[in-house]
Amino acid sequence: MTVTKDESAREGADDTGDMTGDAGVPGDDYTPSERRLARERYTRARARRATAIAGLSTLVTAAVLYLVVVDAPGWPRTKETFFSAHYAREAFPKVLEGLWLNVRLLLVCGAAVLVLGMLIAVARTLRGPVFFPLRVLAAAYTDFFRGLPLIINLMIVVLGVPALRLQGVTVDPVLLGGTALTLTYSAYVAEVFRAGIESVHPSQRAAARSLGLTNRQALRYVVLPQAVRRQVPPLLNDLVSLQKDTGLVSIGGAVDAVRAADIIVGRSLNYTPYIVAGLVFVALTIPMTRFTDWVTARMDRRRAQGGSL
């Protein structure tokens, strides 16, 4: 059916004609047209229908998965070995007690990683031939520790350093493990910061210099604030990864959440404590992941609207 211009104009008038008074100003006695009410009812009906379909589909999928898992030949043995309620109740308080060590490692190592990573990134972006050795050392540091597997770094620091028996060097596996985590993750974070610094247009630095700021002041007050804001999502992702990898300090004997679960497994030969420890880490990680997604979406919306990052 073809709609003429006059009919289209009349339909628009039906929707908006009552919104304005005699002078074309919105009035207080606005009443929606029947066409608009019909559209709103249709939209609500479609939303309810979509919600019902999604809920039904979810229930059917969950039921199918449950039946497939429960009817599997090895499910009884799997349930006893990995999902024992008795060992879950025994492991949960001990895993939570050990998790406090992981949280402390995350807070301390996270702060150290951000500071060290920023210093390395700034060293890599320094200009002038006099800073060439510093740039080379910073690049060598990032290349080495980004290429070195974290587990090998932990073994070298946590297990190898105490074997040296150096005077005044700690043998605490928590401190040594935290040092290894900081060394590795500072290399990743340094590259994130460097990418942010290089993403700032050179005109920003030139404008700062034209206003009388020195190179150092331009870097501190103009370049770094923009670079950090732009790199918040990848920085949060690195912190999420750091939170999970704090469990690796258990290789040196530190009793964290993973080691607490391992002690119970070694005594009972039941692997439910590992599942409990894994779920605890997942529960701790999910809020950080959702926060990262929210920050990323917010920055994307502001960028799409032309706002400042």
Question: What pLDDT, in 10s, does the model give residues 68-112?
Answer: 888 888 888 888 999 999 999 999 999 999 999 999 999 999 999
Rounded Cα distance, 141 and 187, in Å:
7
Per-residue pLDDT averaged across 261-281, rounded? 92
Quick one: pLDDT at residue 242? 92
- Half-sphere exposure (Cβ direction) of 135: Cα atoms closer than 13 Å: 10
Quick one: pLDDT at residue 29? 74
Helices 85-125 and 132-147: angle between axes, nearest 10 degrees: 160
- Which of 281, 276, 305, 271 lies closest to 103, judged by CA? 281
Rounded Cα distance, 262 and 117, in Å:
33
Rounded Cα distance, 104 and 108, in Å:
6
From its phi and psi, is residue 168 left (phi > 0), alpha (psi between -120 and 50) or beta? Answer: left
Positive or negative, the Cα torsion across 24, 27, 29, 35? Answer: positive
CA dihedral 265, 270, 271, 273 (to 10 degrees): -60
Collapsed DSSP state (helix, strand, coil) of residue 305: coil
Confidence band, pLDDT 50/70/90 cuts, at residue 7: very low
Q: Give 155-178 pLDDT, tens digit per residue.
A: 999 999 988 888 888 889 999 999
Using the predicted structure, report yes or no on whether residue 272 has a pLDDT greater than 90.
Answer: yes
In the chain, pLDDT over 70 holds for what percent of residues?
90
DSSP 128-157: SGGGHHHHHHHHHHHHHHHHS-HHHHHIII
Quick one: pLDDT at residue 88? 93
Collapsed DSSP state (helix, strand, coil) of residue 73: coil
